[in-house]
Amino acid sequence: MKNAARALAFLLQFATLGLAIAFVVTRLWPATAERLRGEAAPAPAAETPPTPPTAAAPTLSAAPTAGAGPVSYADAVARAAPAVVNIYANKVVTQRTVRVFPDPTLQRLFGALPGPVLRRREQSLGSGVIVSADGYVLTNYHVIAAADDIQILLYDGRVARALVVGSDEDTDLAVLKIDASNLPTITLDPAVQINVGDVVLAIGNPFGFGKTVTLGIVSALGRQLGQWAYEDFIQTDAAINAGNSGGALVNARGELIGINTANYREQGGDTYGGQRPIAEGIGFAIPVRAAKTVMDQIIAHGLVVRGWMGAEFGPVQVAAEAGLPAAARGAMVLEVYPGSHAAEAGMQPGDVLLRLDGQDILDAAELRTREAALAPGTRVHLSGLRAGQPVEFDLALVQRPSPNRMRIPSA
């Protein structure tokens, strides 16, 4: 009996030990039981990465765009740059010297005597744009003014001598002609769209460094500087330096939108720490539409045909003194040239012109543009005020003379 009890106790102890071992194994190695039974262990569930928080929708509605901007503007440069040339305008400058005696007594007796005349050659740098395969080049007048020899360096390294076809000082444009073959050209499309904020590239020859490209945007349209009679500039922050004048301002597709002409230089105003402020990022270009109009007339007539009354106009500075309401528009007569048709019609400085042929005059620039668009010989009727009293003028237009002569041409 005792032997049977011992055997039963031994079996119970062995079974308890086996169950304990099985419990530990199944807890530490869960797949062991399945492998012992010949079953495949289920694959552990893949952990799902946490979902990033959704960005809040912008509160401002995005304006439709033409697409993301390009990483490079190399295609636009490759399209436009070959038609941009470097211009080297040479002229002989004559200067008379003055002879001053070193002895004070002789200085008092004879003063300063005229010395020999010296001549030296000067060279101005600029740029130009080839606009036709037969060699017409558009540039600024101030680049080639008074030059007796003009050399043009082409994109491929060739050098050609240029002749002046004609120039227009009132818009600072000139047309040159070169005799060369296989010329790259750029199209003057007056329909090209220009908007504030457009990316633009200025291509030219700044400081004689050669073909240089600068990047910016259209900062403003319709700017006026008061330096030329007819101004409607594109303002840009693309760098325009000395030597860029006459070069190309193109858009991001390489289309010509303007002729680089000027940069802003502070002439006066407040000083900071005893120094005048220096303007940066303010350059100006003539829109392609205006440049093409001038170029076509120069090629066709050798000059730009414009109607002219014989007077100069400015803004209405003091409306109350002119008898006008504060918000009135118009143009004030600043100067009347003796013997001109405006003088013969009785126009006087201080007159305020309000209407031309029955249509309101917005300002002096608009009046000059409308005046220039009329052919010489056209009769016009103007109405306005003189010292607050109505006044009217009837006169015929003549061809506008060049600014440096301003002589009265025959009708």
Name the token pair of 296: 């076509």
179 part of the active site? no
Sign of CA dihedral 189, 192, 196, 197: negative
103 part of the active site? no
- The answer for residues whose C-beta is within 8 angstroms of residue 322's C-beta and 6 or more apart is 316, 332, 350, 352, 385, 387, 388
Pick the closest to residue 309 from 259, 266, 344 (CA basis): 344
Q: Which of 172, 219, 340, 341 does the annotation list as catalytic?
A: 172
142 part of the active site? yes
Q: How far apart are CA 210 and CA 66, in angstroms?
A: 33
Largest Cα span, the chain = 164
Alpha-carbon distances of 308 from 85, 104, 134, 138, 367, rounded to whole Å: 35, 56, 33, 25, 11
Name the token pair of 326: 């504060």
- Pairing label, strands 173-178, 136-139: antiparallel
Pick the closest to residue 242 from 293, 207, 268 (CA basis): 207
Sign of CA dihedral 206, 212, 215, 219: positive
Q: Which of 124, 127, 142, 170 does the annotation list as catalytic?
A: 142
The DSSP output letter for 324 is -
Q: Which of 127, 167, 219, 245 does the annotation list as catalytic?
A: 245
* Residue 304 burial (C-beta neighbours within 10 Å; 0-12, 13-18, 19+): buried
Q: Which residues pair with 409 in a beta bridge?
A: none
**Residue numbers annotated as active site:** 142, 172, 245
